[in-house]
Amino acid sequence: MLSNIHSDHAQAGDLVEIVSPSRKIFIFLLATGKEIHTHRGIVKHDDLIGKAWGSEVISHKGNPFFLLQPTLADVIAEIPRNTQIIYPKDIGFILVTMGIGSGTKVLEAGSGSGALTTALAWVVGPEGTVVSYEMRPDVKNLAQKNLNRVGLSSRVDFKLGDIAEGISVRGFDAVFLDIPNAYELISQVKQALKPGGHFGCIFPTINQVMRLLPALHANNFKVVDICEIMLRYYKSHQDRLRPTDRMVAHTGYLTFARSIIPIENTNDEGLESETETDIAQENH
């Protein structure tokens, strides 16, 4: 992915995608002598090597595909997986809300299949740091394999372990948790984050969010936001423009907060009305 970012044509060793007009996507590493088998026919790697990006290519059955550098969203959405992944719609908002960009030091747990890991490694760049905890060895191995495939594993420090037993790093800009019991791990997160640092997590159920809120409070996390993102696609027919028939209704609830150093003996809880907070949140 990274290695050939500014190249204008496909070379052996590149991660490429071929996309059918009906949007079937095949992502693979280009290698001389190999073939990719699709429901629309076979495409020989050798017919792709040397071709300009964006080229239309034809399978042995005469069906067209477009040869492309895989977009980050496609890599994430099509990642080989043995876990539920975090989707691009959520990842984009996580990056912007937590200020994760070039040079950021970010920790995630768990790695899962490496979907968010891929995005983090991509965005923090060569000067950033990504530490990724995973407690299941097989899952960790898959995440590493997936990052290897896209050429980003050198940016990630994979750690096998349970952060309930402590996080070995300190002073991180951001920590993101995708762990069922994340609400039990907030004191560990507090220690790994620098003061003012960003906490984020995703939960499938609202019950988990309810358990998280007192844990954030107890550990002096403030500026708490809870939200969900709905993404609706349209059928791209100029004369019959309309949304698709069905959509994803839910991936997860996102919660964000900042690590705060409170003044002793103050009780700021009572000073502000709910109304103001809510109005501010509605105006985001």
Which among 42-50, 99-107, 130-138, 141-149 is the span making contact with a copy of itself, rule CB under 8 A?
A: 99-107
DSSP element (H, E) containing 134: strand 129-134
Please tell me whether residue 102 binds a copy of itself under the rule CB under 8 A: yes
Per-residue binding string, a copy of itself, 254-283, x by CB under 8 A, is ----xxxxxx--x-xx-xxxx-xxx-xxx-
Q: Choose among 38, 40, 119, 107: nearest CA to 77.
A: 119
Beta carbon of residue 83, minimum distance to a copy of itself (angstroms, whole number): 15
Minimum Å distance from CB 31 to a copy of itself?
Answer: 20
**How far, in Å, CA of 162 to CA of 185, rounded?**
10
Q: Which is nearer to a copy of itself, 54 or 166 (CB)?
A: 54
Task: List the strands of the sheet with 15-19, edge to edge.
Answer: 25-29, 15-19, 64-68
Distance CA 78, CA 85 (A): 10
For the four alpha carbons of 156, 3, 91 and 113, in that order, the dihedral sign comes to negative
Identify the sign of the CA torsion 69, 71, 74, 75. positive
Q: Could you tell me the smallest distance in angstroms from the CB atom of residue 149 to a copy of itself?
A: 16
Q: Which is nearer to a copy of itself, 137 or 273 (CB)?
A: 273
Give residues 206-225 in contact with a copy of itself (rule: CB under 8 A).
206-207, 209-210, 213-214, 222-225
**Is 51 in contact with 95 (CB distance < 8 Å)?**
no
Residue 283, phi then psi, degrees to nearest 5: -90, 0
The answer to whether 103 contacts a copy of itself (rule: CB under 8 A) is yes
Does 12 bind a copy of itself (CB under 8 A)? Our answer is: no
Of 187, 204, 193, 6, give the one whose Cα is nearest residue 99: 193
The footprint of a copy of itself on residues 144-183 (CB under 8 A) is: 171, 173
Residue window 49-88: x/- pattern of binding to a copy of itself, with contact defined by CB under 8 A: ---xxxxxxx----xx-xxxxxxxx--xx----------x
CB of 43 to a copy of itself, least distance (A): 13
User: Residue 92 in 3-state DSSP?
Assistant: helix
Contact string (CB under 8 A) for a copy of itself, positions 106-145, x = contact: -------------x--xxxxxxx-----------------
